[in-house]
A and B are shown apart, each in its own frame.
Chain A
Amino acid sequence: EAQVTQNPRYLITVTGKKLTVTCSQNMNHEYMSWYRQDPGLGLRQIYYSMNVEVTDKGDVPEGYKVSRKEKRNFPLILESPSPNQTSLYFCASSLRTGGNNEQFFGPGTRLTVL
């Protein structure tokens, strides 16, 4: 089944404790992206990647890191999480680069930083 998977689905952590949220897609998509979703603010892009070893900042990159060493994986790293990073996070992928291809979303990771 074609899909985007994320782990963990739920995470409660404390301020400053480094964490990684994994994202993997099995559709051989070139483009991958991370979003956060907050009430009243909608989905905002954190980082995106147009291909292996190519990443770029989205609208809200502060406090996050990403890497794209393999085509299928695009982990999101929070080196020192803070409470304002409490949010619902989504990974997405699309076949090609550029915005004119629909993005497929993962199931989401609900993160709480205490």
Chain B
Amino acid sequence: EDQVTQSPEALRLQEGESSSLNCSYTVSGLRGLFWYRQDPGKGPEFLFTLYSAGEEKEKERLKATLTKKESFLHITAPKPEDSATYLCAVAGTASKLTFGTGTRLQVTL
């Protein structure tokens, strides 16, 4: 059974204070690892897909990396508008996504 564990559950940063979110996973035949952003009361919004160990993708202040066991979402010099819950999900050989419970990020001035 595919499993995803995200840490920490919650993270509070000051504006400009860089940090990383962790996503540990076990999956049979990784077909993709996904990062989503979710704002309160809204549907998840797609950020990145990573397919193989060593792959990296960047978007503005966010950078996602992937190893064989985990993925990191690095947030560089965050701003208050980066406050959200960040979800990690994996797709294995079955036609479905397995999600972690997310990291709730709060960025303060």
Contacts and interface: CB of A to CB of B under 8 A. Distances in A.
B31 A100 contact: yes
A108 B95 contact: no
A104 interface: yes
Nearest to B4: A42
Contacts of A107: 42-43
B95 A102 contact: no
Interface residues of A, number: 29
B87 A99 contact: no
Interface stretch (A43-51, A67-75, A77-85): A43-51
Interface residues of B, number: 25
Contacts of A41: 101
Q: Which of B42, B43, B90, B97 has the most CB of A within 10 A?
A: B43
Contacts of A42: 87, 99-102
B49 interface: yes
B73 to A, nearest CB: 15
B91 interface: yes
B32 A100 contact: yes
B97 A103 contact: yes
Interface string A30-52: 01010100001111110010100
Interface in A76-114: 90, 92, 97-108
Contacts of B90: 99
B94 interface: yes
A68 B45 CA distance: 24
A104 B46 contact: yes
